[in-house]
Amino acid sequence: METYTTKLNNDDITEFDEQGYLFIPALLTPEEAEVLQRDIPDMLNRQGPEVIREPGPNSAIRLVYGGHVHYESFRRLSLHPRLLNPVRQLVRDEVYIHQSRMNPKPGFGAGGAWTWHQDYGTWHRIDGMQQPKAVMTAVFLNDCTAVNAPLMVVPGSQHHGLIDDVAEDEQAEGYALFDIDRQTLQALADAHGIEALMGPAGSVCFLHCNLVHGSSNNVSPWDRTIMYMNYNAVSNACTGTDRVWYHNNRDFTPLVALEDGCLIG
């Protein structure tokens, strides 16, 4: 099978360093995506504190943390060489999982918006991550299109470093989100534009943890599920201990990749 396999080329790495993200459509095959999709209903039925709901009367599920611990399929995904090896190349270090979370973004307006933010803001201010040497991987579990609230990014915005937050928004219990103010977003978007990440299930985007990103609510009838595997450099292990393991994993053991066929073998 010819794939992007397990190694990025220099152009890929340059693109990531310049743009703050690298999008690889269909990095996982439809069969591999299907293996992951099978565990979505069970994840959505979980009752633990790792399940975060939308605020207000809506109560749809906004995030489910810790899937790489609770499900064999996602454990294998977290160690998949097509994710793990590129991430190592991008952070230039061995990595561990800082956290994983699934955002199901359900249709018919139930899946809420994400205001513009950088994930490093929370990880630095709350989890004690010292440097922005972490990479988020967004693994599409559904097709992401123009109409089902795709993830949007401001290319190159990671070069501006950690942007002062306006407020910590407690829009979902247990999940701090440091919004970016309007003036800053306007300037960044005018300078760099905004890109929507779209592709079939199995596509993967590697995102710099300081990249400004967000999404609108999903008014389409189609769910837009993305699994985020968020890796941190081992040399950059978090010092904070306030948050539970599924927000701020304390096991910094360098991850070892499985075989390429690990999801379907």
Ligand X SMILES: O=C(O)CCC(=O)C(=O)O
Q: Which residue is nearest to ligand X (CB)?
A: 215
Cβ neighbours of residue 252 under 8 Å, at least 6 residues apart?
96, 234, 237
Q: Cβ closer to ligand X: 13 or 194? A: 194
Q: Cβ closer to ligand X: 24 or 151? A: 151
Q: Which of 12, 20, 146, 23 is nearest to 89 (CA)?
A: 12
Q: Cβ closer to ligand X: 63 or 262? A: 63
Q: List residues binding ligand X (CB under 6 A).
A: 103, 105, 114, 119, 151, 213, 215, 226, 228
CA distance 147 to 10: 33
What angle do the packed helices 10-19 and 81-91 form, to 10 degrees?
70
Q: Cβ closer to ligand X: 95 or 227? A: 227
Give residue 73's Cα distance to chain centre. Answer: 17
Going along 59-126, which residue ranges are E strands? 61-65, 95-103, 114-117
CA distance 41 to 169: 28
Task: In angstroms, give the least distance from the CB of 42 to ligand X.
Answer: 20
Q: Cβ closer to ligand X: 8 or 102? A: 102
Helix, strand, coil percentages, rounded to 5, for the chain? 25, 25, 50
Q: Cβ closer to ligand X: 197 or 262? A: 197
Neighbours of 170 (CB within 10 A): 11
From residue 212, give the alpha-carbon distance in Å to each of 165, 187, 189: 12, 12, 10
